Chain A
Amino acid sequence: MIEVKNLKKTFASGDTQVHAVNDISFSVADGQFASIIGRSGSGKSTLLSLLGALEKPTSGSISVGDQDITKLHDHALISYRAHKIGFVFQGYNLVPNLTALENVMLPMEFAGVPKKDRLERAKALLSRVGLSDDQQLRKPARLSGGQQQRVAIARALSNKPKLILADEPTGNLDSQTGEMIFELLHELAKTENTTIVTVTHDLSIAGKTDKTFRLNDGKLVKK
């Protein structure tokens, strides 16, 4: 269960203040697939950053499970990101000089998973997202966009997180590939009982999720 209460994030840009996230409250149950839609600049990415503890809110609280992550110290935040969260980005954000396999093992290394388990799990995950043995040993530059995003999904799942946060994961892909990626995310989340919050501008995708939030100028608009 994710519970967000009166969440605010204000950026100061010069003299003016930007209320990127402006007093938002909502909740998502465990295992649910929620989507966030809204125009560019409406605060979607900022909201995901707050949920993933990449950014600290100006005010408000975020409870994930029984933890209020806004009260965590830096060290605990790093551990939270490593163990509880999986990120999928629009630009894939794989480490370019590591192979697909090594990219998937990376979060496990940060989470302190034993070396042998890392390799086994990374191979299993990459097979599940559909990468052949040969593709698993390639560096990102030698994989297609869709394949890279599959690697990114495998990486996000590597530490069995409670919550996967995806920021326009299909934004750089053609609609057919995008749909496949979404189905993959959905299916994996169901089998692992992982909660997913994804940002999308594709309304057909948003329509298939359990819950949809619409943001407008940092505020939640009732649908």
Chain B
Amino acid sequence: MNVITRGIRNAFRNVIRTLSLVTILGLSIGLSLAMLLAHQAVGAKIDSVKASVGNTVSVSPAGVRGFDGGGNALTETEVAKVKTLAHVTSVTESLSDRLTTTNTNLVSAIDAGSLGQRFAGNSGQSFTPRPDTGGATGGPSSFSTGGGQSNVSFTPPVTVVGSTDPTNLSNNVGGGTFTLKSGKVFASNSTENVALLGSTLATKNNLKVGSTFTAYGQTVTVAGIFDAGNTFSNNQVIMPLVAVQTLSSQAGALTSAILNVDSVENVASVTTAASTTLGSVADVTNDSTRAQASVAPLQNIQTISLYSLIGSVIAGAVIILMTMVMIVRERRREIGVLKAIGASNVKVVGQFMSEAITLTMLSAVIGIVIGAIAGNPITKLLVNNASSGTSGGPTGGPGGGGFVRVQFGGIGRGLANIHAAVGFSIILYGLLAALLIAVVGSAVSAFFIAKVRPAEVMRAE
């Protein structure tokens, strides 16, 4: 028997008290660990979201996103000015346009549907007048105009994107990841009338690599067929920038420029510089502001979990502290006896500390089990509650919000993938926290132990 074994034995002196203490303290340690897990998991997610956003700055004509809004196209002269800004490594330029039934023989692979029909009456788009109503199948749908007299059918337009970086779909309204299915990709500086076709568009029009179709009244050769992983992009035509500019008679015009920045840290400064340089002709945005908006709820969860972590550690410390103070008060006489028969303060305190550590370690074992079981569900619960208001669905018209939607979609999917993993370090943290709690708890009781006068044993009970 020594100080330590006596402390361990004393921990089981009152079995009911030990059981209730260990349960309550175990819960508080378990909650601390669950919060620590949530904190780490969310932190890792924030990092990966930030990292995945990349280091690009988008330049769009002022007031235009996709095909929504209005205003004038950017010019290559304007974009040339931002190409030379510090930290800009390269620029991807693109011009998107819509083919109409009058200048192409391509048929859209997308049904108009109810969303498409909302825009059927918009000006600037060509529709095929239909002589009669009828149950048309396939692409065209029929509807009645305001007067209810004439019927026209509406076909969603096919979008053509002229790009200096054809495989980079991030500056296309449809987004997605470019996968070449057949053929080959034209050179970024090509001026030929060649095109990459989205897979569903190609199928719909029975086009293969080497086939030709008509656009802007000219013959265009299919150079390759790609899959973007989404319906919108798979209905697109990608052509060399210069070809689109020439065919559509928009020489030097751009609808989008993506500035690639040397590092994430410089994205904000490049955004400001580009905005200043271009003035009112362009809207300059960067992904990091979007990322910032999407990680904000995650950061809130991080803060909440940190506070809960601190709170539950403090609660645990208070629980063991109160219990130890109670036990010391209860055993005043015994402490006096130990001192009277030759125990030093250090030995008595050591014995109580051993008792406190035993109680806390038992609780830690329960706490680690609780934390391991509850960590993941708690993390998911926190993340789902906080992100439900964030990942806004489709915004704007057909394509207008497309880019934004995909971005949020990506992050939303990421949130669902958050996983709080119980690692060895967590168990270590748990034991360390428990040890800390035990030491704090016994430090205060040590003060009370030191105050017990050995002469008190002489007083009648």
Q: Which residues of A line the B interface, CB within 8 A? A: 45-46, 48-49, 52, 54-55, 75, 78-79, 81-83, 87, 89-91, 93, 95-98, 102, 105-107, 109-111, 155, 159, 167
User: Per a CB cutoff under 8 Å, which of A78, A93, A95 touches B344?
Assistant: A78
Given contacts A78-B342, A87-B340, contact A54 B454 (CB under 8 A): yes
Q: Is B2 an interface residue (CB 8 A)?
A: yes
Q: Name the B residues within 8 Å of A46 (CB-CB).
A: 458
Q: How many A-B residue pairs have CB under 8 A?
A: 73
A199 (CB) vs chain B CBs: closest residue: B458
The 10 tightest CB contacts between A and B, nearest first, are A82-B342, A110-B342, A54-B455, A45-B458, A54-B454, A55-B455, A49-B455, A107-B341, A93-B337, A81-B342
Residue B265 lies at the interface, judged by CB distance under 8 Å to chain A? no
Asked if B98 is at the interface (CB within 8 A of a chain A CB), the reply is no
Point out the residue from B6, B334, B338, B457 that lies within 8 Å of A54, measured CB to CB. Answer: B457
B contact residues around A54 at 8 Å (CB):
339-340, 453-455, 457-458
Q: In the assembled complex, which residues on chain A have CB atoms less than 8 Å from the CB atom of B343? A: 78, 82, 110
Closest residue of chain A to B333 (Cβ to Cβ) is: A93
B338-374 with Cβ < 8 A to chain A: 338-344, 347
Q: Does B132 contact A (CB under 8 A)?
A: no
A45 CA to B454 CA in the complex, in Å? 13
Does the CB pair A102–B342 fall under 8 Å?
no
B381 within 8 A of A: no
A residues within 8 A CB of B457? 54, 87, 89, 93
Taken together as a complex, chains A and B put the C-alpha atoms of A75 and B454 apart, in Å, by 14
Q: Which residues of A contact B333 (CB under 8 A)?
A: 93
Question: Do A90 and B341 touch across chains, with their CB atoms under 8 A apart?
Answer: no
Asked whether A97 lies within 8 Å of B13 as measured between CB atoms, the reply is yes
**Additional 10 contacts, C-beta under 8 A, given A89-B337, A96-B334:** A49-B458, A54-B340, A55-B453, A78-B344, A79-B342, A81-B342, A91-B461, A95-B337, A97-B10, A102-B1
- Are the CB atoms of B458 and A89 closer together than 8 Å? yes
Q: Are B453 and A82 in contact (CB under 8 A)?
A: no
Q: Which of B10, B334, B341, B455 contacts A110 (CB 8 A)?
A: B341
Could you name 24 residue pairs across A and B whose Cβ atoms are closer than 8 Å? A46-B458, A48-B458, A54-B340, A54-B454, A55-B454, A55-B455, A78-B339, A78-B343, A78-B344, A79-B342, A82-B342, A87-B341, A89-B337, A93-B340, A93-B457, A95-B334, A97-B10, A102-B1, A110-B338, A110-B341, A110-B342, A110-B344, A110-B347, A155-B341
Shortest distance from the beta carbon of B15 to any chain A beta carbon, whole Å: 12
Please name all residues of chain B whose beta carbon is closer than 8 Å to the beta carbon of A155 when the two chains form the complex: 341
CA distance A54 to B342 in the complex (A): 10
CB-CB contacts of B185-209 with A at 8 A, as 1s and 0s?
Answer: 0000000000000000000000000
If over half of B's interface residues share one DSSP class (helix, strand or loop), that class is named, otherwise mixed; here it is helix
Closest A residue to B13 by beta carbon equals: A97
Give every chain B residue within 8 A of A49 (Cβ-Cβ): 455, 458
A-chain residues with CB within 8 Å of residue B347 when the two chains form the complex: 110
> B residues within 8 A CB of A111?
342
* B316-343 interface with A by 8 A CB criterion: 333-334, 337-343
B341: A residues at CB distance < 8 A: 81-82, 87, 106-107, 110, 155
- How far apart are the CA atoms of A110 and B3 in the complex, in Å? 10
> Across the interface, which residues of B come within 8 angstroms of A83, CB to CB?
342
Contact with A along B146-190 (1 / 0, CB 8 A): 000000000000000000000000000000000000000000000
A82 vs B333: C-alpha distance when bound (angstroms): 18
CB-defined contacts of B13 to chain A, threshold 8 Å? 97
Give Cα A109 to B454, complex, Å.
Answer: 18
Residue pair A81, B2 in contact (C-beta under 8 Å): no
The distance from the CB of B457 to the nearest CB of chain A, in whole angstroms, is 6
CB distance from B331 to the nearest CB of A (A): 9
B9 within 8 A of partner (CB)? yes
State A106–B338 Cα separation when bound (angstroms).
8
